[in-house]
Every structure is written in C-alpha cells, then in structure tokens.
Amino acid sequence: MDSPSFNSSDLQVNSAGLGLAARIAAPAATVRTNEAGTAALEYAEAIEESITPRLVIRGENHSNQPNPYAAFIDWLNFTFRYRIDGESSLIDLDRQLVAAFGFALGSCRNRKHLNYEQSWEIGNGYGIFATGGDSVAGTSLVSLSGEGCSMVRSWIDACEILKRHKAKITRVDLAHDDYDGLISLSSAVEWYLAGDFHSGKGRPPNGELIDDFGSGSGKTLYIGKRVNGKLLRIYEKGKQLGDPLSPWVRWELELHSRDRVIPLDVLLTPGPYLAAAYPCTEWISSTQSRIATSRKTTVIGLDVLLRYCRLSYGKLIWTLQHVCGYTPEQIIEKLSVMGLPKRIDHPVPGEVS
C-alpha cells in the first residue's frame, strides 16, 4: 500500500523501525507497543478520581442505528473494595472470579503491581489481580489482557459481579476488525488531516503516524492521548502478524476513567461506544466475532511459519527425499515434534481448559 501524501506543516514522517520521529500536528502520547499490537500500561490508573466526572459518551455523536456487537472488549481494568485477609478471602475471590469470568486465580507473582503490594496471575496468563498498599484507598485491581477478555465465559455474569461490588472501570479497550480493509489506514490518515476526527468542540485530537515505509510490517495511526483518557489506535493488524499483503485493519479505542465515568454497559454493548467515539467512526457497524479473529490470526500465523520453514529447511527436506531416499512418512517421523507452535497455539474464545 502506498503511503499517503502529507502537508509538511501537518506531519513529520516517522517509522518505528527506522528510528525517525513522527508527529501529526503536535506531540502525541508516548506509546510502546507489545506483541499484540496494543500499548503497555505503565502507571497506576486504579485510584484515579475526578471532581466532576462525565459519562464517557457525553458530547460524542451516535450512529442512527448502532450495532451493539460491532466491537469486542480487548482489555479491561477495574477496581473494587476488597482486602485479602488470609486463605479464606483468597478462596472466596477465586470462587467469584470463576462465577464472573470462567477462570480462577493462578500463581502468586511475589511482587508488586503498579501501586499494589501483592499480585497474582489470573487464569493461564489472562491477567493480574493486585491488592494491598497504603496509596490505593483500600481497593483491589483486576486487569484482563486481550486474551483474557476473549476467554470470558459471559459478560452478563461479569457485569453482575461488578455491580455487586460497585466496581469502577478504570480502563477498557474496544476493538473492531476490518478484515477486508474497507477503510484503509491511508483513508484514516486522510480523515485526520481533513479534521474528521474533530467533534467541533475544543482542540482537535493529537495524532501520530508510525510508518513502515513500504516494508510490509504495517503502519499505525494514533488519535488522541492516553493522558487525556481517550486514545484510538488504527493499525494494519494482518501485516503486523506477518502477512505483508493482508488488508486487515484493526480500530482499537482505549478509554480511561480520567475525568469520565465508564458505564458497565460498555461491556455488554461495546459497539455503540466505539462507533460514537469520533464523528468519522460511525461506519463501524458489522458484528464482531472473537472466534473469527482467532481463526484469522491462526491462518496468518500458519502461513508465516510455513514460509519460514521453507526458507530455513526446504533444501534439507528436498535432500532427505530425493538424495537420501526418505519417504514423506519417514521425514515426518524424523522431524516432527508433538504439540502446537506458540504462534498458532490460541485457546478458543469462550472456552477455558
């Protein structure tokens, strides 16, 4: 995909891989991406309070016919008042996590997390439970990663537990996968330069473009700032997974509870909240499926592994068959190891082993 043209007054071109700095309009929030293409959270948001909080959707436009399932939850942090006083309270928490999400506490991490003194794994690396400390106002934190969110058995049950504990959502990420690239990243950049992400109130949101300069590793456009509680990531997901020809683009909205209230309803009907985030995101309407996303990720991962295997061991396999006289069955017996490669070893969303 060709890079779009930009006005030099609006954009300083940048690439994450080539070490150049890019800014659209003004400096944006500093972000370092992780393997999932999302951003790492490095500060304690669990105790954020606002004197005059506003509803997260206040002042934002709504689609005329929003699809509640046009987005899925890709990250969730929430705090609630809970203290670990001994083994009995851990057992009680374990029971509630299973009832709410379908998975339990894992091993103790034996270290702090953010401002909390103690922390445990949740499930099989699905997230972190943290508690204790003088600066957390008697709260505990549950943080679920994208994989953890994909494994939640029932968001209805999860919401009931959050209501019961009067929990506060401090971060939630809402994602929409555009597998066919109907709205390309280049189009999103053009929308930004045209002011289509600006609601007309206040200053336009900051933007930052991370350009791959045609390498095929994928571009990323950031709209907004995390420090302001609202950050949109638009990135070429398929390319970042290893397919340089993939049209797959992901739109991912990261919301924090800074100066805003994030309602629990966002967990049940995430689509309208993503569609209403900016004037130009009203197009987001197609129903999302975590199973379809997992399948797409696996297919791309398998293609990448086959490509690398051919480059690294193709001649060896040819030699074994045509020079050494091995049959295909003998080659498989000699080279295969039981198990799935980590790149495609994804649990089925909604099921927990």
Q: Where are the domains of the chain?
A: 27-182+218-281, 290-344
Distance CA 327, CA 250 (A): 44
pLDDT score recorded for residue 8: 33
pLDDT score recorded for residue 343: 63
pLDDT score recorded for residue 188: 96
pLDDT score recorded for residue 312: 86
Using left for φ > 0, alpha for ψ between -120 and 50, and beta otherwise, residue 114 falls in left
**Where does the chain show beta strands of DSSP type E?**
11-12, 23-24, 54-55, 72-81, 105-108, 118-122, 127-131, 139-144, 168-178, 207-210, 220-225, 230-235, 249-256, 260-261
For 346, residues 6+ apart whose C-beta sits below 8 A from its C-beta are 294, 297, 298
Burial degree of 21 (CB within 10 A; 0-12, 13-18, 19+)? exposed
pLDDT score recorded for residue 29: 31
pLDDT in tens, 113-167: 999 999 999 999 999 999 999 999 999 999 999 999 999 999 999 999 999 999 9
Stretches in the chain below the pLDDT threshold 50: 1-55, 57-64, 288-293, 348, 350-353
pLDDT in tens, 153-184: 999 999 999 999 999 999 999 999 999 999 99
Distance CA 7, CA 23 (A): 12
Burial degree of 338 (CB within 10 A; 0-12, 13-18, 19+)? exposed
